[in-house]
Amino acid sequence: MRKSIGLTALSILMMFQSLSAQETPSKEYTERYQNVLKQTQWMREARFGMFIHFGAYAVPSRGEWVKSNERLTTEQYQKYIDSFNPVDFDARKWAKTAKAAGMKYAVLTAKHHDGFCMFDSKLTDYKLSNQFGGRDLVREFLDAFRAEGLKVGLYYSIIDWNHKDYPNVGNHPQRDDKDYGKRTFNWDNYLKYMHGQVEELVKNYGKIDIMWFDYSFGEYSGEKWKAKELVKMIRKYQPEIILDNRLENNEGSSSKQRTISELGDFETPEQGIPDVPLTDKYGNSIPWETCMTMNTSWGYNESDKNWKSPELIVNCLVNCVSKNGNLLLNVGPDPKGNIPDASIQILSKVGTWMEKNGESIYGCGASAIPKPEWGRYTQKGNILYAHWMNQNLGDINAKGVNFANVKNVFMLSSGAELSYNKTWWGNQEHGNFFINVNSKSEKPDYLDTVLKIEMKK
């Protein structure tokens, strides 16, 4: 009994605390929030980017976690490093593929958890350039993507399964190896290395638009990485850079507690799409980006044929945008450096759709009108985009659109005008808005048919 009274008192206190916390953000917080909105503006307009997971793990082709999953030692893993020779790597081809798909930015793994560097770091010999004729793959990536007019980001793993001073914690491949655990790990030395590599990336490679860190867990979070110092150094070289939130958070947080911290500018939901637009605890919409694979693996996986259809990918993109978010869609090039054919084919279908319908994605966000049965809405100012993605019988009912406020309705892909009316079967009192799509029961575009509703205000 006493216990339950205690709990009730506690929960009332917690409720009170969260209510009072919701009241007003501090001046400092509001300034930070405004600044984050400013810095992320291009990204929130871009909406669609390419994630590229490329490294020596492409050779075993069982995903980038192979060293951890199979508890391989660095010596055992070495055979994959030795045979990693991306002879077909051509960053310009990758950049053209991304651009043709309608993507506006890309993020490449400069170093993944295995610690093998895809850039020519002066702080280690564990790097591709040593066995690739001195070529710096990261630099080639940056040059080629910038040349196509895309923004560029680098993924950098703050975890390192190769560095001698990185302890066998978390999912380290040697987590069960007692002898390995007895070694002395000089954490400060590891931090010096990690900070030093990040400094190389932000100092020597021109303008970097995004740093995408991965990842924190348990006590290995925030100040354990000396994150404040790290972020300060990064912003010194790259005042306009955008940072993901994984220097301190890898799992997202409750909307009642969420804030934009000085250590990260956007949230990174993984392999799923939030049910509502993400907001901070004061109710402000905050920037976020879902990262998602095209099959089920990030790194190249020869046997993973579980490809998502172009239809599902467009659906996911629209879903993100309809909630003020972005989609960072992954490709895992094969060991020779080619983006898999299956990915290319899917991306080219998505690209064809984007060419005609990109207007309903770029610079768009959530609409106040509730989600309809036949799809979703995205909105940009006075223009509402109705994404007809599900099977539907009869006309498209954009219920909730104020009839008197509509200027015109078009088929976005062709620009042809569509007629509309308020009634069908006499039910005019329900706020219905029927767009006449010739009562077809099949969507004209199987990926997503977009109806553009121009409103007066």
* Residues at the contact surface with ligand GLC, assessed by CB under 6 A: 53, 64-65, 214-215, 270, 291, 298
Distance separating the N- and C-terminal Cα atoms of the chain: 58
Q: Give the list of residues 6+ apart from residue 371 with CB closer than 8 angstroms, or none.
A: 322, 377
Q: In the bound complex, what is the minimum distance in angstroms from residue 270's beta carbon to ligand GLC?
A: 5
Q: In the bound complex, what is the minimum distance in angstroms from residue 202's beta carbon to ligand GLC?
A: 20
Q: Which is nearer to ligand GLC, 215 or 388 (CB)?
A: 215
Residue of 295, 240, 312, 231 lying closest to 264 (CA atoms): 231
Q: In the bound complex, what is the minimum distance in angstroms from residue 77's beta carbon to ligand GLC?
A: 15
Q: Which is nearer to ligand GLC, 113 or 258 (CB)?
A: 113
Q: Which is nearer to ligand GLC, 84 or 212 (CB)?
A: 212
Q: Which is nearer to ligand GLC, 199 or 270 (CB)?
A: 270
The two structure tokens encoding residue 392: 């539907």
Q: In the bound complex, what is the minimum distance in angstroms from residue 69's beta carbon to ligand GLC?
A: 11
Q: How far apart are CA 223 and CA 230, in angstroms?
A: 10
Counting Cβ atoms within 10 Å, is residue 336 exposed (0-12), middle (13-18) or buried (19+)? middle
Query: Is the bond into 215 cis (omega within 30 degrees of 0)?
Result: yes
Q: Which is nearer to ligand GLC, 298 or 377 (CB)?
A: 298
In the chain, what are the helix, strand and coil shares in percent, each to the nearest 5? Answer: 35, 20, 50
Q: In the bound complex, what is the minimum distance in angstroms from residue 174's beta carbon to ligand GLC?
A: 17
Q: Give the list of residues 6+ apart from residue 14 with CB closer than 8 angstroms, or none.
A: none
* Complete edge-to-edge strand list for the sheet that includes strand 210-214: 242-243, 210-214, 151-157, 105-111, 48-52, 325-331, 288-292
Cβ atoms < 10 Å from Cβ of 356:
16
Q: Which is nearer to ligand GLC, 137 or 364 (CB)?
A: 137
Q: Which DSSP symbol is given to 365?
A: B
Q: In the bound complex, what is the minimum distance in angstroms from residue 34's beta carbon to ligand GLC?
A: 28
In this structure, the chain runs to a length of: 457
Q: Which is nearer to ligand GLC, 33 or 217 (CB)?
A: 217
Q: In the bound complex, what is the minimum distance in angstroms from residue 427's beta carbon to ligand GLC?
A: 47
Q: Which is nearer to ligand GLC, 124 or 250 (CB)?
A: 250
Q: Which is nearer to ligand GLC, 262 or 270 (CB)?
A: 270
Distances (CA, A) of 176 to 246, 295, 360: 26, 30, 51
Residue of 211, 218, 220, 217 lying closest to 244 (CA atoms): 211
Q: Which is nearer to ligand GLC, 290 or 315 (CB)?
A: 290
Q: In the bound complex, what is the minimum distance in angstroms from residue 153's beta carbon to ligand GLC?
A: 12
Q: Give the list of residues 6+ apart from residue 127 with CB closer than 8 angstroms, or none.
A: 116, 117, 118, 119, 120, 121
Q: In the bound complex, what is the minimum distance in angstroms from residue 222's beta carbon to ligand GLC?
A: 17
Q: Name the 3-class secondary structure at 455.
A: strand
Q: In the bound complex, what is the minimum distance in angstroms from residue 53's beta carbon to ligand GLC?
A: 6
